[in-house]
A and B are shown apart, each in its own frame.
Chain A
Amino acid sequence: MNGHDTNDLILQTITKVTSFIILLFSFHLFLAGHNNPGGGFIGGLMTSSAIVLLLLAYDLKTVRQALPINFIYVAAAGLLIAILTGVGSFLFNVPFLSHSFGYFQLPILGKTELATAVLFDIGVYLVVVGITMTIIQTIGEKE
């Protein structure tokens, strides 16, 4: 801070709209990963970039109040989910990390392909979000 208070009204107003669009885009990338470019990694990176935009427009304290999450636990939960999807395949007497899929009749969507690979992708997504946000918050709160 150079001693004078700056007024970031335009940046903060744009951030309020844009961060939700980025979050929606990251959700789309996450779900599109099976048949199109995308997946857990790039989806997690876009989610953390939405949070980084919030950090830029506001400050660390405000974002902590809005998202009271310790991101190291998020990364740990992601790793746990990824391991559990691998271990879960032992329940069906198949090798470690075997995945399967099936077609189901859902109420609104109609005939949908549901794959257990999505569960593994959720793990990747949570690890990427957790690690990226931990790095950025740790570097951000110097002094």
Chain B
Amino acid sequence: MFELIIYTALGILALSTFLYVIRVIKGPTVPDRVVALDSIGINLIAITGLLCILLNTSVFLDIILLFGILAFIGTVAFSKFLEKGEIIENDRRR
């Protein structure tokens, strides 16, 4: 019963990731795609957590924090590129 619930949640997350992938492909503007990619990262975090429960292990818990940090930095970098045209500025007060 417990495993059935986990598998159902994994299926729902897979479906939601698939819908995000459609948004990434079809998204009319670039910010749509960036937000969809960020959400795919968050979905990956959820899938990793559920797999940790399913495989009865705790070694993937570091990966969850890693995904969170990488998704945050990636989204910030994309947003800064869209906003300013360059990711790393030489001197901000110019």
- In the complex, what residues of B have CB within 8 A of residue A1's CB? 84-86, 89, 94
B91 at the A/B interface (Cβ < 8 Å)? yes
Among A38, A49, A58, contact of B92 (Cβ-Cβ < 8 Å): A58
- In the complex, what residues of B have CB within 8 A of residue A136's CB? 88
Among B59, B65, B92, contact of A62 (Cβ-Cβ < 8 Å): B92
Nearest A residue to B62 via CB reads: A37
A61 at the A/B interface (Cβ < 8 Å)? yes
B52 at the A/B interface (Cβ < 8 Å)? no
Q: Which of B37-94 contact A (CB under 8 A)?
A: 59, 62-63, 65-66, 69-70, 72-73, 76-77, 80, 83-92, 94
Q: How far is the CB of A36 from chain B (nearest CB, A)?
A: 7
Q: A1-B85, A46-B69, A53-B76 are in contact. Are A59 and B91 (CB under 8 A)?
A: yes
| A54 to B66 alpha-carbon distance, docked (Å) | 17
A18 at the A/B interface (Cβ < 8 Å)? yes
| A1 to B84 alpha-carbon distance, docked (Å) | 5
- In the complex, what residues of A have CB within 8 A of residue B63's CB? 37
**Chain A facing B: main interface SS:** helix
How many interface residues does B have (CB within 8 Å)? 23
A105 at the A/B interface (Cβ < 8 Å)? no
Nearest B residue to A49 via CB reads: B73
Contact of B69 with A49 in the complex, beta carbons under 8 Å: yes
- In the complex, what residues of A have CB within 8 A of residue B62's CB? 29, 32, 36-38
Contact of B73 with A53 in the complex, beta carbons under 8 Å: yes
| A136 to B87 alpha-carbon distance, docked (Å) | 11
A55 at the A/B interface (Cβ < 8 Å)? yes
A100 at the A/B interface (Cβ < 8 Å)? no
- In the complex, what residues of A have CB within 8 A of residue B83's CB? 2, 6
Q: A2-B84, A36-B59, A37-B62 are in contact. Are A60 and B89 (CB under 8 A)?
A: yes
**6 A-B contact pairs sorted by A residue (CB < 8 Å):** A6-B83, A36-B59, A37-B59, A56-B80, A58-B92, A140-B87
Show the binding face of A for B, using Cβ within 8 Å: 1-2, 6, 11, 18, 22, 25, 29, 32, 36-38, 42, 46, 49, 52-53, 55-62, 136-137, 139-141, 143
The 4 closest A-B pairs by CB, nearest first: A140-B88, A59-B89, A59-B92, A61-B91
